[in-house]
Amino acid sequence: MIISWNTTNKCNLKCSHCYRDSGKESQGELTTEEAKKLIDEIAKANFKIMIFSGGEPLMREDIFELISHAAKAGLRPVLGTNGTLITIEMAQKLKDSGISAIGISLDSLSSEKHNHFRGSDSAFKDTIYAMKNCRDLGIRFQVHTTVMDWNKDEITSLTDFSVAMGAAAHHIFFLVPTGRGKNIEDELLTSKEYEELLTAIMKKQKEVDIEIKPTCAPQFVRIAEKLGMDIRFKRGCIAGLHYCIINPRGDVQACAYLPEVAGNVKEVPFDEIWKSNELFNNLRTQDYKGTCNSCKAKKNCGGCRARAAYYNDGDYMSSDRICIFNN
């Protein structure tokens, strides 16, 4: 099982699509001791992978201490970062703290496009250096790309670039318009483009040795099966089933893009929230509505619950409208 923790709302960039609308530190962020207590509770709940994200997690002064604590608790600590702060010295500190892997964001092979999307003139250059620094120190890293209509034709080339850089995986995120992402909703893919790109991505998986993982695109499992592929992932949307996320203030959510809060870890132990909250229990029933409920791919796809909520007045059990079966 996997859990993400948005360690802070602080960030050194101003990315157009940020679901947290990150920038300044938010009030009430978990202290070091509160974070350590949370990490212990996460380990107790039998989660295996803990992703430290943000904002930009490297802007937390205690991040190395917390990564080390997670490793000692038996978790696999992973960093989700924009990559711009990973100098060779920073990479060494991360390695020494026990980091298991690092996810680094790269959205285009064009420095101009990537920099514009990330709100920084040096983001592309700094990100490439981060990958090289991780590679040189033997730190496992993967490339994270957010898909928009202006970079959709680059995605398979970005996979090739990831291979050339020595990445272990290429994770491809399909935007759900939350946070600042609401301002660029008109740059999202159509249902037809979405289906075509997912098909191209899964065909690309046959050509490369690294793992390609679409995220917030659960229909990829259906497409992989149609192509006769045997992939590691047997379930598309795992929100509330095998995954959840905690924001900087301790609010627990099923997914970063699904705003409904299940509880707060400052008030209720995490494992109690995870096991008993109504939000998670509803998601685990898989008793969806509309097309998603009658779909033959229901059990292994599940539709994107966050996208369903966004386009259906908060009803996270409704149908995922981007799916070609709904169009």
Q: How many domains does the chain fold into?
A: 1
Q: What is the mean pLDDT of the chain?
A: 97
Sequence-distant (6+) residues with CB within 8 A of 139 are 91, 94, 95, 99, 101, 102
At residue 231, does pLDDT exceed 80? yes
Residue 22 forms part of a structural domain: yes
Within 10 A of 76 (CB to CB), how many other CB atoms are there? 16
Identify whether 176 is part of a domain.
yes
Q: What is the pTM of this model?
A: 0.96
pLDDT in tens, 12-53: 999 999 998 888 878 999 999 999 999 999 999 999 999 999
SS3 79: strand
The amino acid that residue 212 corresponds to is I
Please report where in the chains the tokens 């709302």 appear, as a residue: 9
Query: Which of 21, 27, 12 lies closest to 57, judged by CA?
Result: 12
Is 322 within the bounds of a domain? no
Whether the per-residue pLDDT at 143 is higher than 90: the answer is: yes
104 domain residue, yes or no: yes
CATH of the domain at 69: 3.20.20.70
Mean pLDDT of 191-212: 97
Tokens (6 digits) for 326: 């709904």
Give the C-alpha distances (Å, rounded to integers) separating 244 from 8, 106, 223, 275.
17, 24, 25, 12
Is residue 116 domain-resident? yes
Give me 40's structure tokens.
Answer: 């212990």
Per residue, the 3-state secondary structure of 3-30, as one string, reads EEEECCCECCCCCCCCCCCCECCCCCCC
Q: How is residue 80 annotated by DSSP? A: E
Q: Which candidate, 21, 298, 19, places its Cα nearest to that of 173? A: 19
Boundaries of domain holding 36? 2-285
Q: Evaluate whether 305 touches 239 at the Cβ level (below 8 Å).
A: yes
Q: Is the pLDDT of residue 118 over 90?
A: yes
CA end-to-end span of the chain:
33
In a domain? residue 323: no
107 in a structural domain: yes
**CA 194/CA 57 separation, integer angstroms:** 30
Please report the pLDDT score of residue 16 as a whole number: 95
Q: What is the pLDDT of residues 70-116, one digit of tens each?
A: 999 999 999 999 999 999 999 999 999 999 999 999 999 999 999 99
Residue 175 inside a domain? The answer is yes
pLDDT band at 203 (very low <50, low <70, confident <90, very high): very high
Residue 52 pairs in a beta bridge with 5, 79
